[in-house]
Amino acid sequence: MRPNRGLFIAALILVLILGLITIWSTVPDLFLTQLEFVIAGIIIVYLLSRLDTRTFFSISTLLYIASILLLVVTMVIGRNIRGSVRWINLGFFNLQSSEIVKPFLAIFYASYLSKGKMTKWIDLFKFLIFAFIPVILIAAQPDLGSALTLICLPLVLLVFTGQLKKLLILGVIFIGLAIPLESKVLKPYQRQRFETFINPYQDPQGAGYNVIQATIAVGSGGLFGKGVKLGTQSHLNFLPERHTDFVFASFAEEFGLLGAAALFSAYFVIFRTCLSTARILKDNKATLLSLSVFTIFVFQTIVNVGMNLGVMPVTGITLPLFSYGGSSLLSFAILIGLELRQLDLITPFEI
């Protein structure tokens, strides 16, 4: 099916509007700030959709180097907030480097893999080294959610380019080596999140509290929801991080199953457009870039909603275009601008 640009834009707008309403309802003090970032994001989308994507591919190596340097600088001068060093204070807002580097790395991976250098094992190892350097730097901040996203992205692209068998072999070896090192690699709070995922009621007032309150909020919304500003879990402060990690729970409580269905429908249109664009485009770089946008959107949506429903571990991943956060919004604005440019590359004869 041919991607529909108008439907794609309409779906994006719907997600943004529902997200803004939820933030206005749950944390009204942050609404104007989020609105400012939405406006800035729209400007970025418009500008990038007018630029030739080949320009970004031509400097993909520089974008990769800039991403690594940004992550290193964050470790050196970044702000320490609740034990995590993820943000650089720019004066007018805190830049979360792990979010901003996602589109830059997507461009690099698409450009690198389009050159067909994966015929030998050494080629695969070389690419994986490039891919895991930013993952290690982000995990050290620590930011497990963004690290997982940037693990998923290159692996999906490798599967698409025909490296599944090699990845399965490496996966078995990696798991065999990682299990004994798990206690040294994962921080105590990260390990606790996985234990809480298995049984949140093991510590209902502590580690399991967030997940329990999120599932209560989602379930209490019923079919039609409680109404805007009438969600008890979020407004009575039972639901933590109600505008970031657990924003979907806040939304589901106030808009119910029907509201969630509308949101999921919008996301489905976004996913399908990206995937259809990747399938139709003949240029390998453009195809891989659209697939990258699809992967980031799908992975973050599934994980965020999953942890709100208690079916996935809490990892701090934002809900695309919905959760509060300027860096996340700007990162997805770049991805959307690139994707709209890919849509323009489809000719009437490509179906």
Lowest-pLDDT range of 10-24, 116-130, 230-244, 297-311: 230-244
Q: Which long-range contacts (CB under 8 A, 24 or more apart) does 281-287 make?
A: 281/342, 281/345, 281/346, 281/350, 282/350, 283/345, 284/114, 285/53, 285/57, 285/110, 285/111, 285/114, 286/53, 286/110, 286/342, 286/345
Is there a contact between 78 and 85 (Cβ–Cβ < 8 Å)?
Answer: yes
**Structural domain boundaries of the chain?**
5-175+200-344
pLDDT exceeds 80 at position 216: yes
Lowest-confidence region among 104-113, 142-151, 329-338: 142-151
pLDDT in tens, 264-323: 999 999 999 999 999 998 888 999 999 999 999 999 999 999 989 888 888 889 999 999
Indicate the average pLDDT of the chain.
87
pLDDT score of 135:
95
348 has a pLDDT exceeding 60: no
For 5-41, how does the pLDDT look when each residue is reduced to its tens digit (9 = 90+)? 999 999 999 999 999 999 999 999 999 999 999 999 9
